[in-house]
Structure 1
């Protein structure tokens, strides 16, 4: 399925949430859960800065959906996110039975940007969503957001002392 204009509106909100997370001292990721009818049901941003590395917005969406939606509502819902799910979030998505995933930036893009600046690898293998949840319906990346997402991550890495702009 192609990314639609409606998808881009929700992805814009995700990128705005990612910026909000960065401005609060966190990692720049944001996500939105939307019902089959187009209603925004839940949104969140990364909250890992205080030491709980599981506080990803996609994981929070899965928790919220499990507590508030029927299995059929979860399957019909769409998860929009600024960055492709990590393996932990992909697994949560699959276990809860959420529907389509639409992401603005891919893991491959993030890895390439990080490599250009010598950012060390994270502690978890960077698997695609489909490697973790083979039946997942996934669309992305939305290239309209690539430059903006790259800049947010570069600001984070510079702020965290992972690299300097002279790297």
Structure 2
């Protein structure tokens, strides 16, 4: 598949949610769940600042989907996210049977930026989504959003 203008609009909203997270003192990540008819069903941003490191928006989408959508609805949905899923979120996405993932920036891009700024790696290995969940349909990065996401990450670390 190719990235469409509709995809770009949802990704832009995910990046805006990432900015909202950063402005609230959280890590800058945001995600949007869109159903097969193109309706936004759920959106969230990172909420880890209070100590629960599982409060990633992609994980929240998986939880919400498991409780509110049928298996067929989950499989037909698309998750748009500012940054590629971490291994925890990729596994949650696969376990609940969500469909396509479209991300603005890859984990590799973020890792490169953090290394350039001298930020030590986190406690979990950085892996591409398909290394964790090989059958998921994944598209990204979307390069025209990379600089916006990079700037959010730079602000987060004061680089």
Shorter-chain TM-score: what band?
over 0.9
Q: Distance in 1 between matches of 2:36 and 2:111?
A: 32
CA distance in structure 1 between the partners assigned to 2:2 and 2:130 by the alignment: 17
Secondary structure, in 3 states, of the residue corresponding to 1:119?
Answer: coil
Task: Please report the RMSD computed on the Cα atoms of aligned residues, expressed in angstroms.
Answer: 0.5
What TM-score does the superposition give when structure 1 sets the normalisation length?
0.94
The answer to whether the aligner puts 1:62 opposite 2:84 as a matched pair is: no
Output the CA distance in 2 between the equivalents of 1:39 and 1:149: 24
Unaligned runs of 5+ in 1: 159-164
2:45 match: 45
1:148 paired to 2:148: yes
Instruction: Name the CA distance, whole Å, in 2 between partners of 1:146 and 1:127.
Output: 19
Segments of structure 2 that go 5 or more residues without pairing to the other structure are none
Residue in 2 aligned with 1:88? 88
Query: 1:2: how far off?
Result: 1.2
Q: Give the alignment's TM-score, normalised by structure 2.
A: 0.99
Q: Secondary structure at the match of 1:101?
A: strand
Q: Aligned pair count? A: 159
- C-alpha separation in 1, matches of 2:55 and 2:21: 12
Q: Which structure's CA Rg is the greater one?
A: 1
